[in-house]
Amino acid sequence: MLSFFRSAPEWVHFIDIRESNICFLLDRPKKAGSKMRVRFPLTLPAPKDKLDVWVTMTACRSSRGDGYIGVAQPNLPPADRLELAETLRKYCLVRAPEQLAEVRQTERTRVSLRVMGRQLPYYRAVALDLTPGGMKLHCQGPLEVGTVMELRIDTDVAKVEEIRVRARVAWTLADPQPQESDIRSCVAGMQFLSPNEGQVRTYLAEVAKRGEGEQVTHRLVTN
């Protein structure tokens, strides 16, 4: 217990805050679910030069530049979270505009597609959404952030029967494990490293057309 209070805070650089999630840049990757104390540098005219916050990590992935982009929930009551958001927005500077753009939500196509790969748990997963730059997977087992793998996405569009991509695990979030289950599934964000963008865009265009005309499961949604 004493080590919990004695642990030194880790300096991070504020990027953005949305609802109850803080985005920041950090030097080392962190596991989803881990608790840590982060320290934000504050600029004048702030009453102090730094702000320490206890957070619980929800996601972490490699930045396009140096370091890692972390997403975390502050371990604070709702009223204090509002005050924290105001302080960070007022006295913290975004380190680089491209990092803010990097964490902005993008338009995603909600899907339910089978994904196959040798490094996936049980060699398979289900894609929950898809963009030209990546996808979100549901896996029947854990994945390690940073792992690079070759994947095959089986589609339900005649023009694009399958899509082959090379992807990296950007973040993971473990599902709560039922007591009667020995399998702990997880949701993982996959970043495409060498995507076949032509095939992906063709598939997304076909889904968009179908979504406009028929009542089907696939829909373009913006988070």
For 112, the enclosing helix (H) or strand (E) is strand 107-116
Q: pLDDT above 90 covers what percent of the chain?
A: 21
**Closest Cα partner for 24 from 52, 60, 51?**
60
Maximum CA extent, the chain: 61
52's tokens: 């320490």
Q: Quick check: 149 and 135 in contact, CB under 8 A?
A: no
Fold of 7-103: Thrombin, subunit H (2.40.10)
Residues whose CB is less than 8 angstroms from the CB of residue 94 and which lie 6 or more positions away in sequence, other chains included: 14, 15, 16, 100
Whether pLDDT at 175 is above 70: no
Average pLDDT of the residues in 51-55: 93
Are domains 7-103 and 107-222 of this chain identical in fold? Answer: yes
Q: β-pairing, 124-131 with 50-62?
A: unpaired
Q: Which residue has the higher pLDDT, 89 or 2?
A: 89
Residues whose CB is less than 8 angstroms from the CB of residue 97 and which lie 6 or more positions away in sequence, other chains included: none
In CATH, what number does 107-222 get?
Answer: 2.40.10.220
Residue ranges of the domains in the chain? 7-103, 107-222
Q: What is the pLDDT of residue 99?
A: 54
Whether pLDDT at 218 is above 50: no
Using pLDDT thresholds of 50, 70 and 90, give the confidence band for residue 174. low
Q: Quick check: 133 and 191 in contact, CB under 8 A?
A: yes
Whether pLDDT at 101 is above 60: no
